[in-house]
Amino acid sequence: MGVAIAFWVLAAVSVASALAVVITRDIFRAALFLVLCFLTIAGIYITLGADFLAAVQVLIYIGAISVLIIFAIMLTREAQRGSPSNRLRLPALAIGVLLLATLVFAVLVTPWNVVVPLPEAEPTTAGIAARLFDLEGGFVLPFEIVSVLLLAAAIGAIVLARDR
Amino acid sequence: MAIGLEHYLILSAILFSIGVYGVLAKRNAVAILMSIEIMLNAVNIAMVAFSRYIVPALLTGQVFAIFIMTVAAAEAAVGLAIIIAIYRSRQTVDVEKINLMKW
């Protein structure tokens, strides 16, 4: 019951803040609403029993990506000009609503084989590490590739943003 | 009423559609990047919900979610660096005015 209340509150706040991100004209406020949206999504991970992911969400999204975004807003001086919509506002709204209807229809008609009864949520950190670094059927090679990708992205960002 | 897989998937669909609207309707390149982050988060919710409700013992969905977060971080860093570089040379981040490669 408590989880259900938490889910409804978190879902309502996350949808409202995501809407605020795309509707508000003040880009700095949009960034702050984005932080609220990330925080409620971390809460939704907790209702799903994903404790490690919730911590990573707070660290990476709220700690790093939001700071990067606010930094970019400050550096580009678009805060005064705001973030108006373009000419395609109504077609974009139509596409969004159409996509939402299609997705909801697909979710509702698909027969999911949900596990019943659902096992109790357990701490996932050790389980994720075991799954990631398992030598048979694990994700060691993707993990290494992603490390190289992060390194390349960091160097690329420095090269792109450097003042020549 | 118990919360099931469908609730999480529909929440994910709503957030994803909001992100699609933002990407299509915004002018400011930073706002477009923020909408993309909302879309990636929506996908992560779906991944974790599948992991919890369909294969609770395997945790594969959570491992995928970690990879998505890593790629999202790389994408945000490079994207914002590109936006700053464009702003430096053209004094705007309005995507309708950045049309150098359009013909």
Q: Where are the domains of chain A?
A: 1-83, 123-164
What domain range includes position B48?
5-90
**CATH architecture observed for domain A1-83:** Up-down Bundle (1.20)
Average per-residue pLDDT for chain B: 90
pLDDT of residue A159: 92
Helix (H, G, I), strand (E, B) or coil at B28: strand
Look at the alpha carbons of A134, A135, A141, A144 in this order and tell me if their dihedral is positive or negative: positive
pLDDT of residue A81: 66
Of A45, A64, A119, the CB nearest to B48: A45
pLDDT confidence of B73, banded at 50, 70, 90?
very high
Report the distance separating Cα B24 and Cα B36, nearest Å: 10
Q: What is the DSSP letter of B94?
A: B
Which amino acid, A95?
A: I
Q: What is the DSSP string of B48-89?
A: HHHHHHT-TTT-HHHHHHHHHHHHHHHHHHHHHHHHHHHHHH
Total domains present in chain B: 1
A56-110 pLDDT, tens digit per residue, is 999 999 999 999 999 888 888 765 666 677 778 889 999 999 999 999 999 999 9
Residue A9 clears pLDDT 70, i.e. is over it:
yes
> Does residue B52 lie in a domain region?
yes
A139-164 pLDDT, tens digit per residue, is 899 999 999 999 999 999 999 888 76
Cα–Cα distances in Å, from A37 out to A17, A61, A146, B38, B50? Answer: 6, 10, 26, 8, 21
pLDDT confidence of A13, banded at 50, 70, 90?
very high
pLDDT confidence of A122, banded at 50, 70, 90?
confident
Say whether B13 and A104 touch across the interface (CB within 8 A). yes
Report the distance separating Cα B65 and Cα B29, nearest Å: 25
> Does residue B102 lie in a domain region?
no
**ipTM for the predicted complex:** 0.91
CATH number of the domain to which B14 belongs: 1.10.287.3510
pLDDT confidence of A30, banded at 50, 70, 90?
very high
> Does residue B95 lie in a domain region?
no
Mean predicted confidence (pLDDT) in A5-34? 93
Phi, psi of A33 (to 5 degrees): -65, -30
Residue scoring higher pLDDT (A118 or A6): A6
B18-56 pLDDT, tens digit per residue, is 999 999 998 888 999 999 999 999 999 999 999 999 988
Name every residue whose Cβ is closer than 8 Å to that of residue A108 and which is 6 or more positions away in sequence.
B6
Name every residue whose Cβ is closer than 8 Å to that of residue B68 and which is 6 or more positions away in sequence.
B40, B43, B44, B47
| Shortest Cα distance, chain B CAs vs residue A40, angstroms | 11
| Shortest Cα distance, chain B CAs vs residue A150, angstroms | 6
Say whether A85 and B26 touch across the interface (CB within 8 A). yes
Helix (H, G, I), strand (E, B) or coil at A16: helix
Match 């939001």 to its residue by tokens. A66
